[in-house]
Homo-oligomer: A and B are copies of this chain.
Amino acid sequence: MAAHISLLDPGRLFGLRYIAMKDVTCPDSPLADLCRQRGLKLTGQRRTIAFVLSDSDDHPDVEELYRRAVAVDPRISIATVYRTVRLFEENGILQRRDFGGGRARYEVADGEHSDHYHLIDASTGKVIEFENAELNALLDSIVREKGYDLVTTRLSIVGRRKAGGED
């Protein structure tokens, strides 16, 4: 039916505009590659969400991810964002966080950035990440001493900026 069309240069046929709206989404990203490596089907929506996540260095919730994804490719629904975020978490690509407030938040499960904790500013809600080897060791020893292997540490500290403390 459209066999003869595919032999032509799409850019010269009906003009770039139509082709662009139909096929171009966003470039591949480190997370898109991870997606392939895990044998997950790389759909346009997943490529977009992977792109948005690779581009984020904060802790967005699903609504926020949806906003960012729609800005890249409007052909996406929030249901797919929920599904993708769950899929990525089950495959170790994303980490789910709970900072209170009732919505899950996500960040890339980066290798070296992996074992970090979160301090939350009580007034602004700003999230400050930190690593601490001593804390890692102490938690591990506490758990081991009770006859357990540490599986997951869920820690978030709420703090209030000190009066005289300029950062």
Contact = CB atoms under 8 A, between A and B. Distances in A.
Count of chain copies = 2
Interface of A: 98, 100, 119, 121-122, 128, 130, 132, 134-135, 138-139, 142-144, 146-162, 165-167
A155 B154 contact: yes
Contacts of A146: 119, 128, 130, 159, 167
B119 A148 contact: yes
Contacts of A142: 119, 130, 132, 135, 157
Contacts of A155: 153-155
- Residue among A119, A132, A134, A159 having the largest count of chain B Cβ atoms under 10 Å: A159
29 contacts: A100-B154, A119-B142, A119-B143, A119-B148, A121-B148, A122-B151, A132-B138, A135-B142, A138-B138, A142-B157, A143-B159, A146-B159, A146-B167, A147-B161, A147-B162, A147-B165, A147-B166, A147-B167, A148-B165, A151-B158, A151-B159, A152-B158, A153-B157, A153-B158, A154-B154, A154-B155, A154-B157, A154-B158, A155-B155
Contacts of A157: 139, 142-143, 150, 152-154
Contacts of A158: 150-154
